[in-house]
Each structure stands twice: as structure tokens, then as C-alpha cells.
Structure 1
Amino acid sequence: MNNITAILVDDEISNLKGLQKKLENLFPEIHILGAYQKPEEAILAIEKEEVHILFLDIQMPRINGFELLSKLNRVNFQVIFVTAYSEYAIDAFKKSAIDYVLKPVDNDDLLVAVNKALEVIKLKKESASNLKLVNLLEENISTNNKLIIPTQKGLSFIPQEEVLHLEGYEGYTKIHIINGVTIMSSYNLGKFEKLLSSKFFKCHKSHIINIEKVRHFENEGYVVLDNETRVPISKTNKKAFLSMFS
């Protein structure tokens, strides 16, 4: 993984030099932006630089590790606490640390902690990259009338005329296709609602249907699609739905 940066903070210079040497030997791909004994200087550097991992001592004079984090405008990086006091471990995790290592720092413990942080950073980068890709694709292939569906395996490109029905489910969306296949996406229903053509109608807070695939309307409050699926239609949307056919 390239372009990973780190900042080290510890009031004892021997600890800083020791940790820096271990990181350079074990993770040469990590670029250390700075090693700071004074928390005040570290805060200025963290606010200025793009930091991926912060190695932070807890017990420091004037400003301890927890106080340092509270003084930052944002904590958008991984934190690994480095401490001589194991009783701080629980508090460290409560502060959203990715991990902690005890002094004197053991190579194996450091490997585990840093690899955890790198994995989280990798996932964040992939997520951001996928989002940019989806947005770019939405701009460039919208004229092809295809629905772009992010899934666990990648991206699916489905012609909108093949979509029968979209169903919101616990923050996710199930997309039901005419061939009987159902695709699960991490996008919520509201996101898809913005991407669909005028051929789709939100008949219920959890359901969007393809108007061209409607076979029947049932007075008790359901529409039946080409595949015989019964989809509920709310009372507030019933009038708008029927007006499209009058």
C-alpha cells in the first residue's frame, strides 16, 4: 500500500526513536511525517498534514493522549495508542483507537496493530474510489438508461426496463429483475429513487415499482406485477397511482 503516512507522539525521546526504528524496519512503506515530544507541536502538525496513522503515547505532561485527540478539529485517521499502562487499554478502545501496544513495544504486537490500521485504511480508500467511480459512471452512461448497482462483488449495470421492483430493506435495497434474479445493494432506496426514470413510481415508503410491469391493482391496497408479486401501495400514494391510468 503506497503513500501511507504516520506521526509519532511521545514525551520521551528514547521511545520515539525506538518506535521509529521499528516502523522503518517492519513497515518501510510507511512515511513518517514527524516524531514529536511536545503534544502542542504534534497538534499543529496533525492539523496541517494528511495523516493516516497516529502513534500516540497516553501518559504525557501538560496534555495527555486523550486530551490531545479532544483538541483536534477532526480525527479522520487511525489511532494506535502506545502506553506503559495496560489499564488504559479499555479507555483507549472507547476513544476509537484501532489498537494499542504496550511499552516496551514488542515487534509482534506492533505488526498486529499496524496491519489492522492498514486494512481499515485500504477499505476506506476502496470505498471512496468506488463512490467516485459510481458517480462518474452515472454521469456518463445515464443516456443508456442503465441502473448502476453497487454490490459486494462490484458493480452491476441493469437496463431500467428489466427492473420490476425495488424494495427497501434495513437501509439496503433489493432490486428485483425480470429474470427472477434479486440483487442486494448497499445503496438505500432514496438513492435509487433519484436515479430512476419517470417510468418508476414510489408506491410505498419501502417500495418502488416499474409502472410498465404492473399487471393488476387490488382495491385492498396492492399492485400485482408481471411476475405475480404483490406490492403494497400506501393510501397516500393510491390516488396518484390511479391518476396515471385515468
Structure 2
Amino acid sequence: MSNFFTCVIVEDDISSSDFIKNVIAANFSEVTILSAIPSVREAERELQRLKPDFVILDINLEDGNAFTLLKELDTISFKILFVTAHNEYAVEAFKFSALDFLLKPIFPEDLIISIKKIINELQNQQYHKQLEAFFHNYGKNNDQKKLVLKNLEAVHIINLEDIIYINSDNNYSNFNLKNGRKILVSKTLKSFDERLQEQSFFRVHQSYIVNLKYVLSFDKKKDMIVLLDDISLPVAQRKRSALVDFLNR
């Protein structure tokens, strides 16, 4: 892996562009900034000519949208750090696709952390799967969303609707899918609970998150929920009332 990396900044605000340049110059001697570009039109031409290792890309530019720019490129051979003002719709797509993004205003420490992460992952062959998932998620409804799961074996892109339930295994989470497949990732159940709580998933127990679409029955006497394929899981007493409310919606 190369010890030197090249970067292009695509940002139409001069003060923001200068800020990014200064942070990189002060903290990353191994990074060379090839160009700072203010527009979609110029970026489309220059990115294909310069072929940087990574791009710091503002979403809303003076002459268009960064997503339109990316779709116009023949190939995307660089990593991207997206920069955006608060936009819940875009932020949700970023989170599900495991792509890097920063919300404005940008703080130096956050930018440094993001660039370090990009440098560490530059030669990750699975990156473009994440980008593909992002474009799928951006503008899609909940039923069609995809989730990117990364473990030592690979980067897995799965449909949310294929998840029956997720169970905790110490500091790991095990995804149980409709086809019988299981994917183990080194993240806690809590991290997925926060991400999936608006997507028809419900944490019925400290050890289980279930896809409510596959609930067949709830035995209130035994505090057990039955899912697709006759999978029975316990329901914590403190979750009973909220679960019933969800099922009655």
C-alpha cells in the first residue's frame, strides 16, 4: 500500500475549502491536495483527469447536486467523504450504507478522524459495494432499504426485509435471515437497535431485535413471540406493552 495519498476538494464555499486545506496541511503530510474545485461541471472533468485517491465532496454545489455528479462519472475509483448540511433523508442513507459523511459545521477533530479512516480503508476492495448500497437507499422507502454489514470475511449487503431477527452474542450481533443464512458482525445489538428502530424492527429483549413483519403470534401468558419458521423468542416484561402497541398499528 502506498504511503502517499492524493485528494481533491469539491466545495463551492471558499472559507470551507480553505479550512479543509489547512486541516490536511497541518495533520497529514502524506496527503497531497491536487485541486480545490467549486462546481459540478469542473469536477466532472477534473476528477476523471486527476484520478485522486479520495475526494472531500460537498453535496450542494453552486451549479448542481453531488449525487448527480457521481452518477455522471464513467467510473468512481476514489473514496469519498461527503459533507452536508443537516438533511435527515440523506443522513439515513449514509448510515445504512456505512459511508463516511460529516455534517456542517465541520470541526477539525471530526475531519481528522474521517480522513484517517479513509486512509486506512483506501485499498478496501469492498468499498464500492457500500457506494452502491448508498445510491440504492437514497430515495427509497423503508421496505427497499439495504443494510451494509462488515466482518472479517467480507462486506455483506442485505435487504432489511430479509432479516427475521438479530440476536446478541456478547459484543457481537448475529443476523438471522430468511434463507437460513447467518451473519455475525463485531458490533453490539444496541448499535443496530438505534439504526433500525424506525424500520419496523423492535427490541423485544436485551438479547433480541425482531422484524415485526414476521411476527406470527405473541403469547402474553408465556411472554413469548413466534416468528416466521416457528422461531420462538422471549419478550421482556417491560417490553410487553410497547410491543402490543406496535403490533396493533
TM-score (norm 1): 0.46
Q: With structure 2 as the length reference, what TM-score do the two structures score?
A: 0.46
Kindly name which structure, 1 or 2, has the bigger radius of gyration based on alpha carbons.
Answer: 1
